[in-house]
Structure 1
Amino acid sequence: MSAVREDFREILSLVRPGARVLDVGCEDGALLELLTRDKGVDGQGLEISPEGVAACLARGLAVVQGDGDRDLDHFPTRAFDYAILSKTLQQMREPRHVLSELLRIAEQAVVSVPNFGHWRVRWALLSRGRMPETGALPEPWWSTPNIHLCTLRDFTTLCDDLGLRIDACMSLADGKPARSIDPRQPIENWRAETALFLLSRKTEAGVVAPAKSDLFG
């Protein structure tokens, strides 16, 4: 397991064995292959690039070519137990709609986003007056695929607006082991380079289930 990406490790720990999983923006299928091998999931990928689709098929994975901005609308409601969107939401044209659709087609969503409130980002803007380049945001502003960057505070506010519950959240930074956090704590908006969320819908009555004390460390 030493070669497995840290965010993949955390996603693997969140998904229950044998679950139905949709990996949106699955790229070459590395995560989906890991989930299939180690958790026995019934997995499917959605990938926009022909090269990614070909790589998934070469791994023997079920994948369809499609655009997460448009094609999630065609999936049946509750067709999956988990919908995964790893480091891709900020590249979507309509992230609010995409996030809402993930929680329509799946009982839970696993979503990771780079945090534009991280201290290195703030320092780059303050000290150099330029768009930052960090481990989570490595591309220069003129070539980045990211079009809707956000901070942790922005993301938790969007979850509230959409009636989503944060079941768990992990911080990833500097290649260190992930740690469980409460993303609503102001200090985490400075510390987390990338945040990985496990999300679900709030209850039908609109009441948020009590947070478990072990979820946010």
Structure 2
Amino acid sequence: MSLRPDLAIIADHVAPGARVLDVGCGHGELMAVLRDTRQVDARGLELSPEDVSLAVARGLSVIQGDADTDLAFYPPASFDYAILSQTLQTTRAPDMVLEELLRIGRRAFVSFPNFAYWRIRWSLMWGGRMPTTSSLPDSWYATDNIHMVTIDDFRSFLGDRGITVERAWFLRGAKQCSAAAANFRAEHAVFLLRR
């Protein structure tokens, strides 16, 4: 199974045998890979009932829930990793969701589209319209994205809260790019965080 590039990075860096909560897990692609290749005890939380059904049909432990409200029900440090992939920008209170991730997971993986990527800037500057790209294909009125975040915004947010970045990866398409000027050059970012 071929994973989306940010999910492949996460899958490669989750310790074998870990306990994982995948928040916004979709139909469980990452969970299935972690279960089958790394013997991970993976659990999922997903808003879409259709995706929950697909994940459960694959034999995955997924419940329907909302990251903005339901993470509070998990006990502290109940997982080795809490994962939020391409979901942070769709939550109503991303700051609170991130706090909850770091409360229930000893570490947290967070990936998101970088809204400061040069093609997005170019589209806004020259076209004056919200861009659609291969990684952000929906028009402004149809997107789930409600909090546009940039790599520099996220780094500042983490620094203000004393959250430690263990590692970070930056992607342009499926290829990794360097941290140098990542806010301008990267389409997506993946961060491994801890308190």
Distance in 1 between the 2:173 and 2:100 partners? Answer: 31
Bigger shift: residues 164-173 or 87-96: 164-173
Residue pairs, 1:2-41, within 5 angstroms: 3-41=2-40
1:178 matched residue in structure 2: 176
Match of 1:72 in 2: 71
CA–CA distance in structure 1, aligned partners of residues 134 and 170 of structure 2 = 14
Deviation at 1:48, TM superposition (A): 1.1
Q: Are 1:10 and 1:178, in contact at CA under 8 Å, matched by a contact in 2?
A: no
Match of 2:194 in 1: 200
Partner of 1:56: 55
- The whole-number CA distance in structure 2 between the counterparts of 1:178 and 1:163 is 26
Give structure 2 stretches of 5+ with no counterpart.
none
Q: Determine if contact 2:3/2:30 at 8 Å carries over to the other structure.
A: no
**More displaced 10-residue stretch of structure 1: 5-14 or 122-131:** 5-14
What is the deviation of 1:34? Answer: 0.5
Percent of aligned pairs with the same residue? 49
In 2, distance between residues paired with 1:155 and 1:136?
Answer: 19
Paired amino acid for 2:75: P
SS of match in other structure, 1:22: strand
Residues 118-173 of structure 1 deviation map (CA, whole Å, 9 limit, x = unaligned): 00011001111111112222111111110001111101111112221111111111
Matches within 5 A, 1:150-165: 150-165=149-164
Q: Secondary structure at the match of 1:190?
A: helix
Question: What is the match of residue 110 of structure 2?
Answer: 111
Structure 2 counterpart of 1:193, which letter? E
Stretches of structure 1 lacking an aligned partner (at least 5 in a row): 202-217
Q: Secondary structure at the match of 2:137?
A: coil
User: For 1:5 and 1:194, how far apart are their aligned partners in 2?
Assistant: 11
Question: How far off its partner does 1:51 sit?
Answer: 0.7
Amino acid at match of 1:189: N
CA distance, structure 2, for counterparts of residue 5 and residue 52 of structure 1: 17
| Aligned counterparts of 2:33 and 2:70: Cα–Cα separation in 1 | 24
Contact (CA 8 Å) 2:3, 2:29: kept in 1 or not? no
Deviation at 1:53, TM superposition (A): 1.0
Work out the number of aligned pairs and report it: 195
Q: TM-score when scaled to structure 1?
A: 0.87
Alignment TM-score, normalising by the size of structure 2: 0.96
Q: Which amino acid aligns with 1:69?
A: D
For 1:92, the equivalent position in structure 2 comes to 91
Per-residue Cα deviation, 1:169-213 (whole angstroms, up to 9, x for no partner): 1111123x324x44xx5x111001000111111xxxxxxxxxxxx
Superposition RMSD on alpha carbons, in Å? Answer: 1.2
